[in-house]
Amino acid sequence: MSESSKPRLLRALAGETLDRPPVWFMRQAGRSLPEYRELRARAGDFIAFCHNPEMAAEATLQPMRRFPLDAAIVFADILLIPRALGQDVWFEAGEGPRLGELPPIEALADQIEASTGRLSAIGETLSRVRAELEPERALIGFAGAPWTVATYMIEGRGSQREAARAYAYKNPEKLDALLDVLVESTARYLVMQARSGAQVLKLFESWAESLAEDMFERIVIAPHTAIIEKVRAAGVDTPFIGFPRGAGAQVANYAARVPVQAVALDTQATAALGRQIQAGGKTIQGALDNLLLRAGGPALDARVDALIEQWNGGPYIFNLGHGVMPDTPIEHIERTIRRVTGK
């Protein structure tokens, strides 16, 4: 691949400092777009939608047609793994995910081998998107990180995670066994995604907050490291972005220890933290407040400029600190991309 067509996102992940950062948005596909809402209404059940390569490829490409983004992220969900391992998962309209009772860990472990095959539609989505996307725009695959996925599997829904943390303290052996199952199935799933066209792999640890240091080590740092080592052992050298959302004071330790190429920072990340991670040899991503993107106005412009000023002296990917809110005006997304890219 010539330097000029190497996607800007991959250059940033290789450690290059660029004239302007690549830009993409978490949850760029989804309810903020009218064309998504129209597709969603036709697609029916959300899980079936995620497993329909034609429709999922369309949802992935919708924001790429509308905006000059540097990367697409495959349309899927972090809860496809528990389903592939045999736990019921469904989405209640307007309420979010629901999961059936947690099966015995041994039963989940028995399904690891079969789970990757049950996720083959996501590989098909990736191949379709890669075939349509311009070479200078990168394609991102992803999975939920084991602890975040385990919290949904244990609690059966989105929540404050108290039941999941209580479970972790009361049943340490069971939690470790569950995390081991998720490490193995997630590593295989990510290898499959890379072989199907994903050029970047992202681990979403959306619930890294409120964890004591020893717990953070055991349920975040160790499983992330194990997944990346397994993916590398399979001969896949695709760069990783790790997103330990809410980890606060433990983000620097995460960046120093987990063999990711980039750390995605949430809204609270300081300028100094980002620079410290860059000085340690890693790329950073983030961390515009999704509420500010929605609010717009001069404060949005000023913050976009400040983020670029504080972080683009090193390898940096422009993004949000969390996903685009459904009621974000499209003009705010366009304006922000224009401010970052000049396009």
152 noted as active-site residue: yes
30 is in an annotated binding site: yes
Look at phi and psi of residue 20 and say left if phi exceeds 0, alpha if psi is from -120 to 50, else beta. Answer: beta
- Candidate segments 7-15, 27-35, 130-138, 190-198, binder of ligand CP3 by CB under 6 A: 27-35
Bridge partner residues of 91 (DSSP): 97
Nearer to ligand CP3, 78 or 187 (CB): 78
301 noted as active-site residue: no
Residue 106 CB, nearest approach to ligand CP3 (Å): 26
Nearer to ligand CP3, 78 or 340 (CB): 78
- In the stretch 134-173, what mask flags binding to ligand CP3 with x, by CB under 6 A? --------x---------------x---------------
- Candidate segments 76-84, 162-170, 217-225, 231-239, binder of ligand CP3 by CB under 6 A: 76-84
65 noted as active-site residue: no
- Candidate segments 8-16, 75-83, 121-129, 233-241, binder of ligand CP3 by CB under 6 A: 75-83
The reply to whether 260 sits near ligand CP3 by the rule CB under 6 A is no
Query: Which of 7, 21, 22, 30 is close enough to bind ligand CP3 by CB under 6 A?
Result: 30
Distance CA 80, CA 117 (A): 12
Dihedral angle at the C-alpha atoms of 206, 212, 214, 218, nearest 10 degrees? Answer: -20
Q: Give the HSE-up count for residue 60: Cα atoms under 13 Å, Cβ half-sphere.
A: 34
130: nearest Cα among 118, 121, 122, 138: 138
Query: Which of 189, 204, 216, 240 is close enough to bind ligand CP3 by CB under 6 A?
Result: 204
176 is in an annotated binding site: no
The reply to whether 290 sits near ligand CP3 by the rule CB under 6 A is no
Total residues at interface with ligand CP3 (CB under 6 A): 20
Bridge partner residues of 89 (DSSP): 99
SS3 34: helix
Q: For residue 79, which phi and psi values (nearest 5 degrees)?
A: -90, 10
Q: Which of 70, 77, 266, 289 is catalytic?
A: 77
Nearer to ligand CP3, 46 or 230 (CB): 46
Distance CA 136, CA 154 (A): 41
40 noted as active-site residue: yes
15: nearest Cα among 259, 282, 274: 282
Query: Which of 9, 12, 29, 164 is close enough to bind ligand CP3 by CB under 6 A?
Result: 29
- Candidate segments 20-28, 126-134, 210-218, 221-229, binder of ligand CP3 by CB under 6 A: 20-28
Residue 46 CB, nearest approach to ligand CP3 (Å): 5
169 noted as active-site residue: no
Residue type, 4: S
Query: How many CB atoms neighbour CB 134 within 10 A?
Result: 8
User: Under a CB-based contact definition with an 8 Å cutoff, are residues 83 and 115 in contact?
Assistant: no
Indicate the residue whose CB is closest to ligand CP3.
206
User: Under a CB-based contact definition with an 8 Å cutoff, are residues 126 and 60 in contact?
Assistant: no
Dihedral angle at the C-alpha atoms of 134, 62, 117, 82, nearest 10 degrees? Answer: 130
339 is in an annotated binding site: no
Token pair, residue 12, equals: 């940033």
Token pair, residue 63, equals: 């924001």
285 is in an annotated binding site: no
Distance CA 177, CA 192 (A): 23
The reply to whether 98 sits near ligand CP3 by the rule CB under 6 A is no
| Distance between first and last Cα of the chain | 24
The reply to whether 236 sits near ligand CP3 by the rule CB under 6 A is no
The reply to whether 182 sits near ligand CP3 by the rule CB under 6 A is no
Distance CA 337, CA 269 (A): 21
Kindly list the catalytic residues: 27, 31, 40, 77, 152
Residues that bind ligand CP3 (CB under 6 A): 26-31, 40, 46, 73, 75, 77-79, 96-97, 142, 158, 204, 206, 323
Annotation: binding site for substrate: 27-31, 77, 152, 206, 322
